[in-house]
Amino acid sequence: MIDTFGYKNMGYKVAVVWLLSFITVWIVFENIIPRDSILLQLNKIEESIQDRNWNEAKAEMNILKDTYKKNRLFVQMNNATEIFTTFEHTLGQLEITVKHEQEAAIEYVGALKETLNLVMKPFSGP
């Protein structure tokens, strides 16, 4: 076979470049997405609710919202629309229930913890 344009191993080169790009993006998302800090904030909110310390729960909720807002773009790029929308909706419900000092807030903390691994990991599956 005559290799006129130097494309003899082009498929191999494309595969290697694709694999390296995928690994690079994975590492970037793994380091940017704030999974541990959000889990820490959710744990603090949960403890505050259990102790009925609503002022502390509200303060921790503000920290959680700020952390999420700073990283929202990366979380959104990494997720399908459905899980992202569900996560944001549940976060909003948590905010409202904490604001009004409702015991149901603990349920939203649990729901957010359950979906955290789907939303906050690189290239999460459906």
Q: Give tens-digit pLDDT for 24-45.
A: 988 887 777 788 899 999 999 9
Phi-psi region of 101 (alpha: psi -120 to 50; beta: other; left: phi over 0): left
pLDDT of res. 32: 79
Question: What's the pTM value of the predicted model, to 2 decimals?
Answer: 0.76
Q: Give the list of residues 6+ apart from residue 104 with CB closer than 8 angstroms, or none.
A: 97
Residue 116 reports pLDDT greater than 60: yes
Q: Hey, where are the domains in the chain? A: 34-119
pLDDT of res. 73: 86
What's the whole-number average pLDDT of the chain? 86
Q: What value does the mean pLDDT take over residues 92-108?
A: 95
